[in-house]
Each structure stands twice: as C-alpha cells, then as structure tokens.
Structure 1
Amino acid sequence: MLAFLLLVFSTLAVFVVAQAVVTVDCGKNSMSVRWTEKNTQLDPSQLRLGDCPPTQVSVTPQGSEAAFYAEFLTCNIRRLVTTNEIKFETEITSPSLSKATPIYYPVGCAYKRQEDWAPPLYDPLLFHIHGQGELAFRMDLMTDDFSGVTTTTTFSLGSMIPVAASVSQQNHQPLILLLDECLASTTPELGPDSHVYPVITNKGCFVDGKNTNSRFLPRNQLSEIRLNVQAFKFATGEDVYLHCSLVAWDPTNLDSGNKACQYDRTNSRWVLVDDPSQSSLCSCCDTNCQGRKKREITAGTTSVTSVIGPLVM
C-alpha cells in the first residue's frame, strides 16, 4: 500500500483552465478530480480521466460539472519515479466535438519518495537478486478481458484481437518484456517472398496504431505485455499468422532500440508506454531506430520469436 511507502502526499490543488476550474484531491492511493465548466456546450459525460468516464456528471443553465474518482495505476494513470518524488499522472481529455475545442489537460499527484522505496511490482526478496537463469517466453490469444486464453481464432474486421506475452524469470534479475517486432503473414514461417503486414516494427514502435485503434494496454507487471490489435483487411478470409519477436531487457536501461512506443493521435506524437517522460526514445519511430548492444544479463536466451495462428479475419 502506498500509505506505507510515502512520507507525505499532496492534498488539494485547484487550477483554472480557460472557463473551467479543475480541482485535484490526492489521497493515499487514489485521486479525486472535479471539472467545473461554465461553457454549457460541453457535455461533461464526454470527458475522460485517462481512459475512465466520470463517476458523476451534472448539467445546469449555469454550466456543467464532471467528477472522477480513480485509484492509482487504473484509468491509464501512470507512475513516474524520480530521485526525490513519486508522481501519478494522467490527463483530462474530450473527443473532437463540433461546438467545442477538444480538451487536453494534465493532472497528477506528487509524493515524496522514501530512500528505500522499490516498485511494488517486484517481490522485495527478488528485487536485488541478479542471478543467471533460463527464461521462459510465452505469447497467447486472450479473452476480451484478458482473464484467460481464448480458443477463438476468427475475428470480424474492426474487432479487437487481444494478445498477451510474458516471460517467466525465476532466479533472475527483474526484466521488462518488450516486443521488438510483430508482423502478420499468410505463412507460418517468414521467408524472402512472404507477404507481410507490419504491426510493430522499428524496435518496439506500434506502427499499426497510427491509423487504427490498436494499442498497448497498461502493464500489470513488467514481465508481461498486453496489446489489442484491431483486425485488419490484410489477407481477408485467409489464414493469417502473427510473428512477434519477444525481448527480455533491463528495465532501468531502456533505449531507442529497446522500448514500447505507441502513437498518440490526439497530440500527433510517439509516447513511451512505460515512462512518457522519456518519450524522446520514440522520436526515431518514423525513421530508423538503433539501440545499444544487448547487455549480458543472462546466460540463457534473452529473445525469441513466437508465432500465433492461424487466424482468420
């Protein structure tokens, strides 16, 4: 619990944004946000805190109001850790509306970091272990809520294909799982003449998400990565195989060649999924990304290629 990790926490902040007033109340492990707007053309139910809708809305002739309550690490709230602080950040946004300018307003809570703080995703008994050990990679098609592996292999165009990949790392230093590349092909093996459709390329850039709703999902743990791939027109009606290169990497040593980036279409920029403050690592996604040589982190394999299929769109 954050209550045992933090020395102090912010309580209440009030900001004025154009005609709106934003109030952020930071709790021990959650934030409450209230957006009050005099512009009656704004439908407060359209607002989002991260990817969550308001918990309460009201509209009167005097204006509109949206209230949000979210626990940290839900609703696409990101945790950023610096030398002295732990920050939880997200944005209030709205879709493009005919009578209103789209809204994008960052909100967050900042806390003082204890010197001995370690990410709760790690077992504290394993956090400082740097053992050598075999790594077991896995990639599966999942149910829509990622509660288990699915047996469905046929997808309607435009629907989401849930995919989860993981690496088992017993007796090993903590590693982050990344997808170096994912290509769709009509063959179970890639060859020089294979017909392919790029999903993730350029060492972790989710290029398919530039023009579709494909996206990475928030991590539950660093050793797992989840994504939704929107079913595409490539090879409609034929067998399709998804070829992905899975890489286990030092989470403290991300670079332009080892990263997870997706395109923020609202702001027309690439964003580093695991730490937006380092999104400059994604600036090469539209050109050519080159990373450092792999660190000698294990005597076993640190990358594999996994294939899912056949799928039918």
Structure 2
Amino acid sequence: MRRPRQQQAALLSRYYFLCNVAKLPRPPPSTPDIYVDCLKDSVNITWRIQPELVPSAHRLFLGNCMGSKLTRLPTGEGEVYFHHKLGDCKFRRLVKGKHLIYQNDLTFRPQAKPKPAAFTFPIRCLYKRPEEWVPPFLVPGTGVTEGRGSLLFHMALLDQALSGFAETNVVPLGSLIPIWAAVEQRSHQPLLLLMEDCVAAPTPELQPGSQVHPIVGNQGCLFASKWGNSSFLRSYHSSELILHLQAFKFASSDKVYLHCKLTAWDPENLNEHKKACHYANGGWELVDDPSRSSLCDCCDSSCVSRPKRAAHQKSQGLVRTSVLGPLIIDDSGTKAPTFLSNAPSVERRLY
C-alpha cells in the first residue's frame, strides 16, 4: 500500500539502505519508491517519482551523475534508472574490518551546486574486502602540483543518456543534440558557467560575411528554444551547462560547427547581462532560478552590455571562445529545419 508523500519522505530520511553482492534480504515492502541493487563493480537504482516531479527528473542525481533513463508510467508517475560504476559518481570508499563500503547519496537538487539539495537519500553498498587489497597509503605514488592561471573551459558532445561523451559525431536531423560546456573549478570559489553567445556555421572558422545562424545571443538568451525544441539544462555543478540543441543543417553542407562564447561568473550575481535563459511554457525562463525570470525580459529586445567591465573580465581569463565540430547531420528520412544557402547571411563576431 502506498503511503502519503509526507510519510514517504519521512521514512526515506530515516531509512539507511544496505545491500551487497552476497544478496542481503531485499528492503521491506513498506520502503517506498527506491530500490537499490549493488553489483560486483556497479550499482543499479530505480527511483519511482510522483507525476509532479517528472518534469524535473533531470535534477535527480546519484552523487554527481544524472539518471541513465527515465520511463513514464501509465499512472503519470516516472521511474528514473541509475546504472553507474562504483568508481564514478564520487562514490566514497571506506574500509571497516573485513569489508569495503561504498557510500553515496541520491539527491533532488532544484538548483545546481553550491545550492543545497532539497532531498537526500543515502546509498550504501557493502562488500567483503579482497585479501590482496592494500590500503592506498602503503602504495608508492606521485603527486601533481598545478599553478594558478587562466581557467580551463571545455565543450563536448554527450551521449543521449548524458552519462559520457558521444562515440560518434553523426546526429539525425531534428534530434536533440546534448552539448556539454564546463569550466574547471580547481582552487577558485564556486563558478557559474554561462553561454553568452553561440552561432552555428558550416565552417570551423568565421570570416567576414560567413553564413551563420544564431543559437544564443543577447547575453545568454537561447534563441533556438523559441523556434525549436532546444533548451538549457543545468548539470550537477553550476560550473557545467548542457545545451540540448535541435539538430538542423545548412543547405550548402551537412557539417555544422558551433562557435560559442563561454563565461565563468559568480553564481550569486546573476543579472540581465549575465544569465542563462530559454523559452519555456510561453515565456522566457531563467534556468538557474525561475523565480527571477524577469532578468530574461530583455531577450526579445536588447540586453545592453557593459564594454568596460567585459574587457576587464576577459583580461582575468573569465571569457573564452570555443568551437565544437564538425557535427555531421544525417537527413535520411527526417524532416526538420534547414537553413537555405540563399538565406541572408548573418555576420557575428564573438569577443
């Protein structure tokens, strides 16, 4: 019998789940919504969520890993599946007597780190310690020292499950392409990764008069979300951002290159000049805090920049232009937006 949601949350917060490869007894039927199966070197987790939580399923995490799959049930509920290696997702390994213990947390994070999780459920997998296992401090090793310098920015194509890098750069026309952008935190205070400007072009370099199509502009407004199904998705850390871009192609080429300006910013200082906005539910929405979506009101007009401050930020290494591609667009049997070669070209420069 299902318990009221309030009782479920109270029970989940008290229940500390333990399982191992020796097949300990399964949790009692009264334990709601979460089932954990610890395998030899990985873990399978099924988390059943209420209908109102399904649209926010991408904010459920195991450690810092997103769910591997979401299934919508006929009842309107959803089941989020996690399948990850114990060496991933920031599992913590402890040694206690003759056992190795792997610990982690399932969390619901309406907002990215450093904001706290709204709900936490602990996961614990127990294994018999191998006889040949040696504590790490008894194994000779080497260390690496890194100096403080310019921040490192990254862009990459992810697989559809958002669990790793894509194995191919061929994408079907009209499909959603998950594009990951990040800035390495290192010793810096928490950083917010923003995509201020991004254009698509059929060439890896932009020249005066190059044919391009705007994807992001107006200092963080995802234009592609208004004419298609594209959207921003904030990852576990505020220093990572995922762009779900609906695949299109130029009539002159099946190759698409993305030229994007990435910015590292203070998470506590969002404003109309530093933001991540996409078009959803009939209006512009601030990805990191929908309650402050008024910062996106300028997306349909002009979000005035501040040249002097922008120049100062660039000198500090907080702004980088990244190019991702080529993405090979496969249009066999698919209909989706295509930008004709005789369409007016747009000249854009990324500063």
Instruction: Tell me if TM exceeds 0.5.
Output: yes
Query: Where does residue 289 of structure 2 map in the other structure?
Result: 275
**CA displacement, residues 239-278 of structure 1 (integer Å, 9 cap, x when unaligned):** 22110100001111111111110111x3x11110011111
Question: 8 Å contact 1:133–1:169 — kept in the other structure?
Answer: no
Indicate conservation of the 8 Å contact 2:151/2:317, yes or no. yes
SS of the aligned residue for 1:177 comes to strand
Quickly say closer, same or farther: Cα 1:284–1:171, change in 2 above 3 A: same
Are 1:73 and 2:73 counterparts? Answer: no
Deviation at 1:290, TM superposition (A): 2.2
Change (3 A) 1:50 1:192: same
Q: 1:24 offset after TM fit, Å?
A: 6.1
Q: CA deviation at 1:282?
A: 0.5
Alpha-carbon distance change, 81 to 185 in structure 1, aligned in 2, over 3 angstroms = closer
Given the alignment of the two structures, is residue 290 of structure 1 paired with residue 304 of structure 2, yes or no?
yes
**Which residue of 138, 150, 156 maps to 2:172?**
156
Question: Matched residues in 2 for 1:236 and 1:153: separation?
Answer: 19
**Alpha-carbon distance in structure 2 between the residues aligned to 1:133 and 1:81:** 23
Equivalent residue, structure 2, for 1:178 = 194
Find the aligned partners of 2:176 and 2:157 in 1 and give their Cα distance: 11
Q: Does structure 1 residue 27 correspond to structure 2 residue 12?
A: no
What is the percent sequence identity of the aligned residues? 40
Structure-2 residue corresponding to 1:41:
none
Cα distance in 2 for partners of 1:146, 1:206 equals 20
Q: Is 1:247 matched with 2:263?
A: yes
Contact 2:313–2:319 (Cα < 8 Å) also in 1: no
- Cα distance in 1 for partners of 2:117, 2:155 equals 31
Residue 185 of structure 1: CA displacement? 0.5
CA pair 184-27 structure 1, distance change in 2 beyond 3 A? same
Give CA deviations for 1:155-187 in whole Å, capped at 9, x if unaligned: 211112121111113222221110011100112
Matched, 1:205 2:187: no
Structure 1 residue 311: Cα displacement: 1.8
Q: What count of residue pairs does the alignment treat as equivalent?
A: 226
Q: Which residue of 2 aligns with 1:304?
A: 320
CA contact (8 A) 2:51 2:78 kept: no
Aligned-residue offset at 1:237: 4.2
Q: Secondary structure at the match of 1:283?
A: helix
2:272–2:295 CA contact under 8 A, matched in 1: yes
Q: Deviations over 1:20-79 (max 9, x none)?
A: xxx76683688x99xxxxxxxxxxx98763245898665xxxxxxx557886536xx447
Instruction: Work out whether 1:142 is the aligned partner of 2:124.
Output: no
Cα 1:184/1:51, change in 2 over 3 Å? same
Q: Which amino acid aligns with 2:288?
A: D
CA distance in 2: counterparts of 1:288 and 1:300, whole angstroms = 26
Superposed displacement of residue 81, structure 1? 10
Counterparts of 2:78 and 2:170 in 1: how far apart (Å)? 37
Letter of the 2:186 partner, please give it: Q
Whether the aligned pair in 2 keeps the contact of 1:133 and 1:170 (CA below 8 Å) is no
**For residue 73 of structure 1, what is the amino acid of its counterpart?**
F
Mapped to 2, the partners of 1:199 and 1:162 lie a distance apart of 14
Q: Whose radius of gyration is greater, 1 or 2?
A: 2
AA in 1 matched with 2:108 = L
1:187 alignment counterpart: 203
Q: TM-score, normalising length from structure 2?
A: 0.55
Q: CA deviation at 1:286?
A: 0.6
In structure 2, the CA distance between the partners of 1:146 and 1:236, relative to structure 1 (3 Å rule), is farther
Equivalent pair of 1:133/1:299 in contact (CA under 8 Å):
no
1:272 counterpart letter in structure 2? L
* CA distance in 2 between partners of 1:81 and 1:301 (Å): 22
Give the Cα–Cα distance (whole angstroms) in 2 for the partners of residues 170 and 259 of structure 1. Answer: 22
Where 1:27 maps in the other structure, the secondary structure is helix
Structure 2: distance between partners of 1:233 and 1:240: 7
Q: Indicate the structure with greater helix content.
A: 2
Per-residue Cα deviation, 1:192-249 (whole angstroms, up to 9, x for no partner): 2011111111111111011222111232101111121110143464322110100001
What secondary structure sits across from 2:234 in the alignment? coil
> Counterparts of 1:49 and 1:237 in 2: how far apart (Å)?
38
Q: Label 1:191 to 1:253 Cα distance change in 2 as closer, same or farther (>3 A).
A: same
Gaps of 5+ in 2: 14-31, 34-49, 58-69, 81-105, 120-146, 330-351
Aligned twin of 1:102: none
Decide whether aligned partners of structure 1 residues 236 and 291 sit closer, same or farther in structure 2, where only a CA change above 3 A counts. Answer: same
Matched residues in 2 for 1:200 and 1:232: separation?
Answer: 15
> Per-residue displacement from partner, 1:271-312 (whole Å, max 9, x unpaired)?
100111111110101111124534967974111110011222
Q: Distance in 2 between matches of 1:171 and 1:299?
A: 19
